[in-house]
Amino acid sequence: MINRTVLVGRLTRDIDLKYTTSGTAVGSFNLAVNRQFTNTNGERETDFISCVIWRKSAENLANFTSKGSLIAVEGRIQTRNYENQQGQKVYVTEVVVDNFSLLESRAESEQRKNAAPQNNGGFGDTSQTPNAFGNNAAGNVYNAQNQNAGMPTNGTFAGGREVDISDDDLPF
């Protein structure tokens, strides 16, 4: 049986770092992850995934990230339940994080923090900046056509030379 998940998203708030009675660090946070498709109104929806991270990794994540940080996490999905103060059973589903990666440089993080708050949650205008996964902050995938804007599209390579390829040259 396999229970692995990988998520890429932005922190919705600073990591909530606490310590157990035995001194073990535990951090909890929500990760905002854009869906890959749009709804009927043409808007991209976002899922807010609950995550928990333990020990030194929790301390490191709390020290090097803040609200809005772009991160990737790897872990497993876990469900648990408990009884609240009203005697009702509460079910919780969360990702227990094993590994994380910071996906923006410290300079980008500082620039985002210092940007004037706008309608995009104060993340600055990152809508046209591709990240390491070829997506921008809105989750749009940059394809070769977007990346080559301004390049000649008439079938020529640099220098204006056309490529002569017959059907016999193609491998399929």
Pairwise CA distance, residues 61 & 66, whole Å: 9
CA distances from 23 to 20, 56, 127 (A): 5, 11, 41
Give the pLDDT of residue 149: 42
User: In the numeric block, which tokens belong to residue 113?
Assistant: 């923090």
Over 60: is that where the pLDDT of 103 sits?
A: yes
What is the reported pTM? 0.62
Pairwise CA distance, residues 53 & 75, whole Å: 9
pLDDT in tens, 115-169: 745 545 444 444 444 444 444 444 444 333 333 444 444 444 445 555 566 666 6
Give the pLDDT of residue 159: 52
* Domains of the chain and CATH, by start: 5-106 (2.40.50.140)
Give the pLDDT of residue 112: 75
pLDDT in tens, 35-94: 988 888 888 899 999 999 999 999 999 999 988 899 999 999 999 999 999 999 999 999
Neighbours of 151 (CB within 10 A): 10
- For the four alpha carbons of 157, 161, 165 and 170, in that order, the dihedral sign comes to negative
Residue 91, burial from CB neighbour count under 10 angstroms (0-12, 13-18, 19+):
exposed
Q: Is 63 helix (H, G, I), strand (E, B) or coil?
A: helix
Give the pLDDT of residue 129: 46
pLDDT in tens, 9-48: 999 999 999 999 999 999 999 999 999 888 888 888 999 9
